[in-house]
Amino acid sequence: MRRQIARNVVWLLGERALQITVSIAIVALIARGVGPEGFAHFQYAQSLVLIAASIGLICGGEVVVPRLVAIPSAEAQYHLMAHVFGLRLVAAIAGYFILVAATVLTEQDATTLHVAAILGLSILLREPFGVVTAWMQAQTDNRAGVAFSLSALALKAALIAMLYFSAVHVVHEYAWAFALESALLSTLLAWHYARRRPRIRPTPDRELLASLVRDGSVFWVSMMLLFSARRIDQLLLKPRVPLTDLGAYAACMQVLDNYVLLATIIASSVAPLAIYAQPTFAQARRNVLRFAGGMAAIGMTGGIFIALSAPWIVHLLYGGRFEATVSLLRHGALGSGLVFADVALSLLAIHLRKPGWLAAKSLLVLVTTATIDLITIPKFGAEGAVIGYIAGNAIAVASGIGLVMLSRDPETAEREE
């Protein structure tokens, strides 16, 4: 069992590392191909799509995987997956409709609308068929999923490279590569499970649907708030700064987003044994504090390196037209340690099964970031958004420290009540 788990983790970590590396190259090619203004349109549209995609996460893996593990029967699993697929499909359709409607009603320019409509197709494809990924996680065997994901990524990378070296400068042409990636991935996932599913016809189960919605609602709201908090800065920047400044800021955030993914990789590798498997609450809390300190040190060390190397990184990835990104990256990178610490501190909430706290924290970060941005962007432009980014992460860390300090052993609290 341990060997199987270790093998599965290696596959997942290898995929994530390769995904990050290739994603950085893809973003660099797009930025070089379409320039700062075109990149601003592309990233703004991606921000809208990311928020809309969170609507499709109505029944996430946190709910589905434990249920699949608890019912080893293939027929019962298929019955559950069919209902999850249906829920996600309806939510994804709603998310895509809301995306297009919001883009039209807010009178976005034609380029943004076109790119958002194309990128948004991924919502319809990824979220519903993601239930197959949850099924593979429940089987503790993600090898097929990793292979499918990397195959789709290779297709996207090849298409982006072909467009770039063909001197294509039209933004929406690059967006089609993302849609085709999602189409290939969803097709492979559907094919993989179709060969293994039992040949039965699931019957509608209203009680199961209600249970899935009820159990997943807190996680769902939390994810929508989290995604909104991650992208509110770019939504507030677009109407307040020139497109070239928005493009420079988006380029900065792309570097930082890929860097802080390292925190998630480390946390997912360490948490099962160092925190979740601890026999006592006191030991788990102590390990969370130690881990948070170590993660903050790792994040800050890497952030200092990125800040010192900012001119080289920007020139290598984006070229000379993104000179304004250098100072933004220097300042933003110095706050990266906060993100690493936040990821570590949030593990205690996951260990204590407190999704409500995660939702409340995401709401607090969203409100803080938006408030600081509205104050600083008119004065400092894109630099103001960096201030909001750091302030939001600082609030997240403060909330995490508060949870660690104030949390009590659940068993002790139950006895006292």
pLDDT digits (tens, 9 = 90+) for 326-373: 999 999 998 888 999 999 999 888 888 788 888 899 999 999 999 999
CB atoms within 10 A of CB 72: 10
One-letter identity of residue 282: A
Contacts (Cβ under 8 Å, ≥6 apart) of 199: none
List Cα–Cα distances, 274 to 204, 263, 296, 405, in angstroms: 41, 15, 17, 19
Q: Where are the domains of the chain?
A: 1-204, 242-412
If one compares 333 and 196, the residue with the highest pLDDT of the two is 333
Pairwise CA distance, residues 168 & 181, whole Å: 19
Give pLDDT, residue 278: 77
pLDDT of residue 59: 81
pLDDT band at 196; cut points 50, 70, 90: confident
| The pLDDT of residue 154 is above 70 | yes
Instruction: Enter the DSSP assignment of 273.
Output: I
Task: List pLDDT tens digits, range 286-332.
Answer: 889 998 999 999 999 999 999 999 999 999 999 889 999 999 999 99
Dist. CA 43–CA 244, nearest whole Å: 12
Split at pLDDT 50, 70, 90, the class of 264 is: confident
Each residue's pLDDT tens digit, 75-86 = 888 888 999 999
Length of the chain: 417
Residue 371 tokens read as 């408030």
pLDDT band of residue 96 (cuts 50, 70, 90) is very high
pLDDT at 162: 96
Band the pLDDT of 374: cuts 50, 70, 90: very high
Task: Give me the pLDDT at residue 10, please.
Answer: 64
pLDDT value of position 15: 67
Q: Which two tokens stand for residue 8?
A: 């599965």
Query: Residue 288's closest CA among 337, 245, 347, 359?
Result: 347
Structure tokens at 116: 């958002």
Q: With beta carbons less than 8 A apart as the criterion, state whether 125 and 58 touch.
A: no
Lowest mean pLDDT among 59-63, 145-149, 319-323: 59-63
pLDDT at 109 over 60: yes
The CA-atom distances, in angstroms, between 122 and each of 116, 125, 176, 345, 346 are: 10, 5, 10, 32, 29
| C-alpha radius of gyration, the chain, whole number | 22
Contact at 8 Å (CB) between 387 and 335?
no
Residue with tokens 């195959």: 151
